[in-house]
C-alpha cells in the first residue's frame, strides 16, 4: 500500500509581495514566507524599516528586497507593481485604524481607513490576479482582515466596516478567479501584541474586555499568525479559496 503524501508547505521558486511589512503582522508574514523559500518583496510607505528587514533576512540566508508602495494611492501602487514584475503570492497586510465611538466618526477618518483597508486591498488583489491570469499561472492572495471582520467591537464601527468589506470581496473574487487557479482567502487575527496595539493593552477596561473574549486566555503574538499565512500560500491549501482562517483564540466561537 502506498500512503498519500502531504502536499508541500515549501514556497521555493515563488515570489511574494507583502504590504504593510515594515512592522507587526506584515513583517511576520514576510519572515514566514521567506523562511519557507519564497523570494519576498516587502512593501510599505516608508523604506527605512523595510531595509532593516531586508538586511536581517539576507543575513539569515533568505531572499528579500524592498519597495515603496502606498496602497491608498492607486497610481503609485500600479507604478510600483509595473517596476517589480510578476508575483505568485500576495499578502495584503497594510492597514490602519481610526477608532472612535460611532457617534463621533469623522468623514475624513472614515475615508482614510477605507482607502487603505478596503479600496487599497481590493485593487491590489485585482492587480495581482490580473498578472496571474494573464500569465496563465496559479497563485495565492491572502488578505489580512481581523476577527472584527466577523463580530462587532466597541469604538470599531469604521474598522469593522472596512474588514467586513474585505471578507465580502474576497468571497466574490474567489468565485470569479477559481477557474484560473487563483485562490484568495483571508486570515483573521485576534488582538496581536505589537507596537501599534500597545495603547489598547495599556487601557485596563479594554484589556479586560479582550481577555474576557479570548478563550485560550492569552493575547496573540505575531508568531501565531505566521503559520496560517504559509499554509494558505502553499500547495497544502490548494483546495482552499473564498474562506476565512480565524486565528482568534476562540473569540468568535460563541
Active site residue 122: no
Residues 139-167 have pLDDT tens digits of: 999 999 999 999 999 899 999 999 999 99
Residues 6+ apart with CB under 8 A from 157: 102, 105
Residues 69-100 have pLDDT tens digits of: 999 999 999 999 999 999 999 999 999 999 99
Block residue for cell numbers 498519500: 4
Residues 4-36 have pLDDT tens digits of: 999 999 999 999 999 999 999 999 999 999 999
Residues 214-233 have pLDDT tens digits of: 999 999 999 999 999 999 99
Q: Which of 159, 177, 231, 251 is catalytic?
A: 159
pTM above 0.85, yes or no: yes
- pLDDT, position 197: 84
The grid cell for 28 is 511576520
Go through 198-231 and write b for each residue having 16 or more CB atoms within 10 A of its CB, e for each that does not.
eebeeeeebeeebeebbeeeebbebebbbebbbb
- Confidence band for 189, pLDDT divided at 50, 70 and 90: very high
CB-side neighbour CA atoms (13 Å) of 229: 32
What structural domains does the chain harbor? 15-193+221-246 (3.40.50.720)
Are 64 and 17 in contact, with CB atoms under 8 Å apart? no
Q: What's the chain's average pLDDT? A: 96
Amino acid at each position: 500500500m502506498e500512503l498519500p503524501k502531504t502536499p508541500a508547505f515549501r514556497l521555493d521558486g515563488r515570489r511574494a509581495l507583502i504590504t504593510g511589512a515594515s512592522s507587526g503582522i506584515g513583517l511576520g508574514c514576510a519572515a514566514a514566507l521567506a523562511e519557507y523559500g519564497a523570494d519576498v518583496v516587502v512593501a510599505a510607505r516608508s523604506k527605512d524599516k523595510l531595509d532593516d528587514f531586508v538586511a536581517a533576512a539576507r543575513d539569515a540566508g533568505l531572499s528579500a528586497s524592498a519597495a515603496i508602495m502606498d496602497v491608498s494611492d492607486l497610481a503609485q501602487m500600479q507604478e510600483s507593481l509595473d517596476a517589480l514584475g510578476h508575483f505568485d503570492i500576495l499578502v495584503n497586510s497594510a492597514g490602519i485604524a481610526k477608532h472612535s465611538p460611532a457617534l463621533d466618526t469623522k468623514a475624513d477618518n472614515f475615508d482614510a481607513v477605507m482607502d487603505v483597508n478596503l479600496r487599497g486591498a481590493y485593487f491590489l488583489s485585482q492587480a495581482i490576479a490580473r498578472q496571474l491570469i494573464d500569465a496563465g499561472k496559479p497563485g495565492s492572495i491572502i488578505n489580512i482582515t481581523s476577527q472584527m471582520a466577523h463580530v462587532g467591537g466597541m469604538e470599531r464601527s469604521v474598522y469593522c466596516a472596512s474588514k467586513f468589506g474585505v471578507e465580502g470581496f474576497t468571497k466574490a473574487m474567489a468565485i470569479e478567479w477559481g477557474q484560473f487557479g487563483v485562490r484568495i482567502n483571508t486570515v483573521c487575527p485576534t488582538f496581536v501584541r505589537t507596537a501599534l496595539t500597545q495603547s489598547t493593552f495599556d487601557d485596563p477596561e479594554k484589556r479586560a474586555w479582550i481577555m474576557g473574549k479570548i478563550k485560550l486566555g492569552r493575547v496573540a503574538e505575531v508568531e501565531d499568525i505566521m503559520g496560517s499565512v504559509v499554509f494558505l500560500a502553499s500547495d497544502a491549501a490548494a483546495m482552499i479559496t473564498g474562506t476565512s482562517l480565524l486565528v482568534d483564540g476562540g473569540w468568535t466561537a460563541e
